[in-house]
Every structure is written in structure tokens, then in C-alpha cells.
A = this chain, B = another copy of it.
Amino acid sequence: MDNWDEIRTAFQVARLGTVSGAAEALGVHHATVIRHIDALEGRLGAKLFQRHARGYTATEAGQDLLAVAGQTDDQFTQLASRIKGRGDEVTGELIVTSLGALSPLLVPTIADFQERHPDLRVRLISDARLFRLEYGEAHVAIRAGKLPDQPDNIVQPFFTQTLKLVASKGYVARFGPLSGDNVGEHRFVGSTDETPRAPYFRWLNETVPTSSIYFRASSMVAVKEAVLAGVGIGFVASWDQDRTDDLVEMLPPLEDWTAKIWLVTHMDLHRTAKVQTFVRHLKEQVASWPVD
């Protein structure tokens, strides 16, 4: 049963009773309708209609087709309106992938968004591996660093995160302050990555001898916990430092210690209302984030 268009043509003929009427309804020439019917009947090896001067009368097979194709027509019409409508409404599932460290900022914002759109189910995923927007793994990604130029991705600046080199009060009480010439006497918390992309970790690698890095973690959450535990001196986002009064700044901030955070969407989904609305909401809410 290949060629669904011929079924659709036969459906209109069965429904209207004439080739001419079906042709008008379908917006094609009546010769085309006749050809479709002939081809379909030939392929099925059965007559769908009895032909006469007043029109086409459906046989039992034709009436069967009428019933089946009628349902199909309804379902396709509903499908089309669903698809057309879905682009304008914020429902279904929204998949956001983000740096795990941003969760404390992101989750309340998402919760607020969900408050405004109760029908929206949200999945917030954070993982070591990169989720690929072009495979449909997520609708919106929040990423750091300048991304490899994925041509189908739409990248826009979200905010700039300032990091501070901090340590716990307990650490300072034990090891003292940090200055330009006593680096070797201090303990640091760094990244597990040998060649980190983040500029502050690269600054750490260049400035601090490997032997002074006593703790390595793969996530910024773990880094912060290590610093809080007094393991050593490490980088913590400025907004994250503000959430506790146990962390003291060990050096004045440098230019390199800023991380641009990007908002990434896939081209195909970017203009949908769901993504658009969420992105707009993120940009509005970021103004109230303590990130500058």
C-alpha cells in the first residue's frame, strides 16, 4: 500500500461521489483523479468504484477505504494543528543542560519559569560529557568558554562569571596569607584536567608548581567543597563565595579569572516559543543574579 496520495484521492472520490468534486476539493485536475483511482485499483487488483455517468459509486472496498481514510484525514488534520500550535505554546518537555556548578543559581530560576508554565516538564542535566544539541539531547545549553564553532548552534552571551582565588578561614589561620613570593609554601586545589580549557586553571598551572597542587577535582562543586574543607587555595565563583562567610580572598582578581558563560540553542529549535520564552526568561532573571 505505497502511495498514500492515491488513497487520499480515492477518499475524496468516495466521500463526494464524483471525480469532478474530488478534483475540486483536492485542487487538481479531474484527469489526475481518474489516473490515481485507476492506478490504485490496478495495484489493489480490485474495483473501488463503479463508474457511471452520474459519478463514481463506492463498492464495498471503496466504502471500507472511505471509513479508514476518513479517520486518517481527521488524524492528520489534528496532527497538523497540533504541530502548528505546539510552536506557539510552552508545554511538553524542556531539556536544559548546564554546568553543574551553576545549579544553585539556575534551579530557582527554572522553578520560577515552571511556575509561569505549569504544563512544562523540565529536565536539567549536568554531566561530564557534552550533550549535543544537534542530536536533540537538549533544547538549551549553558556552557563556559568559547565553543568550537558548531555551525547549527546559536550561541549568545549569557553573563560573565568572575572567579576568586579563595581559601577557608581555617586554612588561612594555619598557612597564612598568600603573596607573590610564598606560592611554594601553599597548598592548592586544581583541576583533574591536564590541559584545562578554563583560563583560571591554566593560570594556576602556569603559576603554581604541580607539586603544590594537593587536591584535584573534576567539578567546580567539588573544588569549592575542598576549599571549604581547608584542603587548600582554589577558585570559587564570586557569587558562590558570597554565600558563605568562611571563604577569604587570597589574591586580588586578575583579568584571566573571568569566565564567559554562553547560552546555546540549536538552530532548528531556537525560534520555537518554548525555547524563545525560556531564553528570554533566563536573560531577564540573570540581571538579579549576584554574578558581577
Query: Footprint of B on A, CB under 8 Å?
Result: 1-5, 7-8, 26-27, 44-52, 54, 57-61, 64-65, 68, 71-72, 75-77, 79-80, 82-84, 86-87, 92-93, 132, 134-136, 152, 266, 268-269, 272
A24: min CB distance to chain B, Å: 14
A218: min CB distance to chain B, Å: 27
Query: Which residues of the other chain, B, contact A45 by a CB distance below 8 angstroms?
Result: 84, 87
Copies of this chain in its oligomeric complex: 2
Query: Which residues of the other chain, B, contact A272 by a CB distance below 8 angstroms?
Result: 46
Could you show 11 A-B contacts with beta carbons less than 8 Å apart?
A1-B79, A1-B80, A4-B76, A7-B76, A44-B80, A44-B84, A47-B268, A59-B269, A60-B93, A61-B83, A65-B83
Taking CB as reference atom, which chain B residue is nearest A73? B1
Could you say which of A4, A64, A272 has the most chain B C-beta atoms within 10 Å of its C-beta? A4
6 closest A-B pairs by beta carbon, nearest first, are A4-B4, A1-B80, A47-B268, A57-B136, A52-B134, A61-B83
Which residue in B4, B52, B83 is a CB contact (below 8 Å) of A8? B4
Which residue in B64, B79, B82, B92 is a CB contact (below 8 Å) of A83? B64
Given contacts A46-B83, A46-B87, contact A54 B135 (CB under 8 A): yes
Query: Which residues of the other chain, B, contact A87 by a CB distance below 8 angstroms?
Result: 45-46
A234: min CB distance to chain B, Å: 38
Taking CB as reference atom, which chain B residue is nearest A5? B5
Taking CB as reference atom, which chain B residue is nearest A71? B75
| Residue contact A135 to B57, C-beta cutoff 8 Å | yes
